[in-house]
């Protein structure tokens, strides 16, 4: 692809602090000064064709957590990677929750570029407690050619190009903003210092080459940044680089966000944006990088190419990789019933998804809660027509019972149950050979049908759940439904994410007739 022609970067008169020549958030005492300026291309997922945003938010007495992630269709790699990264950060936050101070964690996504070939997303996280606030940002780049989600390093031709980009940042900070070399922050300063102290031939006075310690040092092999694994290795090697939070500018160059704390004299500002002119960028980008820049500047979005994959945006699909997270599947048998709506209310407070193993004979009696289950993202499983023991039935009897229940659920929701839970957990070889869906049991039995005690039910769930657990309840018992708020609160506080059965087994896969009890990884 032919690179875009060089575009002269915008220069805009800004009011800034007299002591600092940086792009600052307004609000400080200021003088008039002409400064380089970069307008980053950033869009909300809801504003682009072919994608939308989904939000998960939970408010408790202990904390407030929320995240907004992009949805690009069923099982889209960028959707899964973005949401999984945000969910993992939320778990870490909740596991280390400070006492008092009204702790909050808010995560968001903006889109940096979008086309059928490439999508770039910027994930941000703002954590606060007791008046202290921290901010972090990262970028992800989806390459449709490889179907991989890649780090920022994949946008560059090679590591030499990454070094040149750091030197371009150093030049802008020194020439445009009057920062002396010794005040250049982090890797920008290291790369600039190494390059300038290296004699002709590449070795510096201390025997090293002219690169940063975090970059391509002389003792390591050059990395092929077009190869996903090596691009990820390069991102680790260049950890802490401000290029990890780059966007393309409206002028065709780069807009690189730098932490105000890392820029001497930046003061109390939200962000410092450093422009790199389009002319400086030419020759540094990879093929993916040029595609990303073109996508950013065109603003066309995805169209229908990606959004319709596997059912389009209306499809739920897998959006979390539970092999990397603390996931739990809460399951409810023998309903729907008179207490099911109350249970759904409790689940909604935690943005929790669950799986309901319903009896086909009750679906017509309680169509409203069944419709609500489907509308709110829960999963419906087949628990037979009226709780007969499948192991005592003929193959023909099993088939008719399962098909009848599937049809009842499909009539209300439009979708057949993806899994079966045999009543009493009873099954045999005939059952396994006859059914056309996976058979799901459990690893945590709350014995709620026996105890009929709310406290005992919640304790059984909280004491025995581990990542990957499938927990058994019965929503026909009021005592069980009353236990769910405490179960949700306790597991949420531990950093768990509440998912459906097919979500928790999603990346391990499920086969018809196979029996599953849990998705524990160890």
Please report the pLDDT score of residue 343 as a whole number. 99
> What is the per-residue pLDDT across 457-473, written as a single tens digit (0 to 9) for each?
999 999 999 999 999 99
Please report the pLDDT score of residue 24 as a whole number. 42
How large is the average pLDDT for residues 69-81? 92
310-314, 412-416, 486-490, 503-507: range with lowest mean pLDDT: 310-314
Q: How confident is residue 27, by pLDDT bands cut at 50, 70 and 90?
A: very low
Please report the pLDDT score of residue 213 as a whole number. 46
Please report the pLDDT score of residue 211 as a whole number. 52
The full set of domain ranges for the chain reads 11-39+152-296, 45-148+307-311, 322-516
Residue 7 has pLDDT above 70, yes or no: no
Identify the bridge partners of residue 327 per DSSP, sorted by sequence position. Answer: 497
> What is the per-residue pLDDT across 269-280, written as a single tens digit (0 to 9) for each?
678 889 999 999
Q: What is the CATH number of domain 45-148+307-311?
A: 3.30.565.40
The phi and psi torsions of 161 (rounded to 5 degrees) equal -65, -35
Q: How confident is residue 268, by pLDDT bands cut at 50, 70 and 90?
A: low
Identify the active-site residue in 474, 477, 492, 497.
Answer: 474
Calculate the average pLDDT of the chain: 87
Identify the active-site residue in 158, 333, 334, 503.
Answer: 333
The phi and psi torsions of 507 (rounded to 5 degrees) equal -90, -5
CB-CB contact of 67 with 107 (8 Å): yes
Catalytic annotation present for 497: no
What is the distance between the alpha carbons of residues 483 and 380, in angstroms, rounded to a whole number? 21
How large is the average pLDDT for residues 504-510? 84
What is the distance between the alpha carbons of residues 450 and 461, in angstroms, rounded to a whole number? 14
- 45-148+307-311 and 322-516 share one fold: no
Q: What is the CATH number of domain 322-516?
A: 3.20.20.370
> What is the per-residue pLDDT across 272-321, written as a single tens digit (0 to 9) for each?
889 999 999 999 999 999 999 999 999 888 876 444 444 333 334 688 99
Catalytic annotation present for 389: no
Please report the pLDDT score of residue 206 as a whole number. 38
How large is the average pLDDT for residues 134-156? 97
- Considering Cα of 123, then 190, then 161, then 176, what sign does the dihedral take? positive
């Amino acid at each position: 692809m032919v690179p875009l022609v060089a575009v002269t970067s915008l220069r805009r008169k800004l009011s800034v602090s007299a002591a600092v020549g940086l792009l600052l958030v307004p609000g400080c005492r200021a003088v008039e000064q002409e400064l380089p300026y970069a307008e980053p291309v950033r869009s909300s997922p809801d504003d682009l064709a072919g994608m939308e945003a989904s939000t998960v938010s939970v408010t408790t007495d202990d904390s407030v957590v929320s995240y907004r992630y992009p949805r690009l269709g069923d099982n889209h790699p960028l959707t899964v990677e973005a949401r999984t990264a945000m969910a993992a950060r939320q778990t870490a936050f909740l596991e280390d929750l400070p006492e008092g101070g009204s702790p909050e964690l808010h995560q968001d996504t903006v889109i940096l570029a979008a086309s059928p070939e490439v999508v770039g997303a910027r994930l941000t996280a703002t954590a606060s407690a007791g008046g202290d606030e921290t901010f972090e940002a990262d970028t992800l780049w989806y390459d449709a050619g490889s179907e991989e989600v890649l780090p920022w390093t994949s946008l560059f031709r090679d590591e030499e190009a990454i070094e040149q980009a750091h030197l371009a940042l150093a030049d802008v900070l020194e020439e445009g903003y009057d920062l002396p070399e010794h005040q250049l922050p982090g890797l920008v300063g290291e790369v600039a210092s190494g390059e300038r102290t290296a004699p002709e031939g590449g070795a510096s006075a201390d025997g090293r080459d002219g690169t940063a310690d975090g970059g391509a040092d002389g003792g390591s092999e050059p990395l092929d940044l077009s190869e996903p694994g090596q691009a990820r290795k390069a991102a680790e090697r260049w950890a802490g680089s401000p290029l990890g939070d780059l966007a393309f500018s409206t002028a065709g160059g780069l807009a690189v966000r730098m932490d105000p704390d890392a820029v001497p004299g930046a003061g109390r500002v939200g962000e410092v944006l450093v422009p790199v002119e389009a002319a400086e960028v030419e020759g540094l980008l990879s093929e993916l990088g040029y595609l990303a820049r073109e996508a950013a500047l065109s603003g066309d979005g995805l169209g229908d190419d990606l959004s319709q994959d596997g059912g389009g945006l209306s499809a739920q699909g897998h959006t979390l990789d539970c092999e990397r997270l603390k996931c739990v599947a809460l399951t409810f048998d023998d309903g729907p019933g008179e207490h099911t709506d109350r249970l759904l209310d409790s689940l909604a407070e935690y943005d929790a998804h669950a799986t309901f193993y319903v009896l086909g004979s009750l679906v017509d009696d309680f169509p409203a809660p069944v419709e609500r289950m489907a509308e709110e993202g829960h999963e419906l499983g087949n628990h037979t027509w009226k709780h007969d023991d499948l192991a005592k039935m003929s193959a023909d009897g099993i088939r008719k019972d399962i098909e009848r229940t599937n049809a009842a659920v499909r009539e209300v929701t439009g979708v057949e149950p993806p899994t079966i839970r045999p009543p009493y957990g009873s099954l045999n070889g005939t059952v396994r050979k006859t059914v056309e869906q996976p058979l799901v049991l459990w690893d945590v039995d709350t014995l709620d049908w026996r105890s009929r005690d709310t406290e005992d039910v919640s304790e059984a769930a909280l004491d025995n759940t581990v990542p990957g657990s499938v927990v058994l309840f019965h929503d026909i018992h009021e005592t069980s439904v009353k236990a769910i708020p405490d179960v949700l609160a306790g597991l949420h506080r531990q950093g768990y994410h509440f998912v459906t059965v097919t979500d928790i087994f999603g990346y391990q896969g499920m086969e018809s007739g196979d029996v599953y009890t849990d998705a524990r990884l160890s």
